[in-house]
Structure 1
Amino acid sequence: MAHEHNHEEDRYITLVDEKGDEQLFEILFTFDSDEFEKSYVFFYPVGENENEEDEIDILTYAYIPTEDGGFGELMEIETDEEWDMVEEVFNTFNEEQED
């Protein structure tokens, strides 16, 4: 999946889908996993968090950071072990946000 990353706006990432349409996403947070030797990014479509009651689609991808701190290529998370770890990190993040 192609994407552009603007370093001045580190909170946003643009993804281009298979039809060539660009969509802007806001980055929720990123973290690194020593266990899987990758970094992970959580993000959601910009404009979808206006209504607090709505469930937002949060997307999660793995990536290998570039030397300048960019995202490199976003990769699908493929193993159950990886998903379990990512969900655990996300749940911890969510709990911290609610405090």
Structure 2
Amino acid sequence: MTEPLPSGLPALRVIERYLVAQLAEVYAKLEAAEDAANPRWWVQWRRTPPGAPWRGVLHRAGCWMPGTPDLRVADVRAVVAEHAGRIESCAACRARVP
């Protein structure tokens, strides 16, 4: 059984901070596990003239556009950082960088 909670406000605030920190850790581990299990994004690269920088459209899993999700959170962040400003979100699925 659990012990009864203290009645003092300072003690309850300490417990609250501890529980919030624990919950944040659980959410982070869940996100990492889900990300490792399933890639959820892909970039559809557009044709550009030779020598011009690549341009692309970011899609998320479930989008009706052709493509297969092959990027995880870290991969998406890296691609978007590398091609900053040249990757836009799909108008259909409205994919966003996590």
Which of the five TM-score ranges fits, normalised by the shorter chain?
under 0.3
Between Structure 1 and Structure 2, the one with more helix by share is: 2
For the pair shown, which has the larger CA radius of gyration, 1 or 2? Answer: 2
TM-score w.r.t. length of structure 1: 0.27
TM-score w.r.t. length of structure 2: 0.27
- Structure scoring higher RCO (CA < 8 A, sep ≥ 6) equals 2
Between Structure 1 and Structure 2, the one with more strand by share is: 1
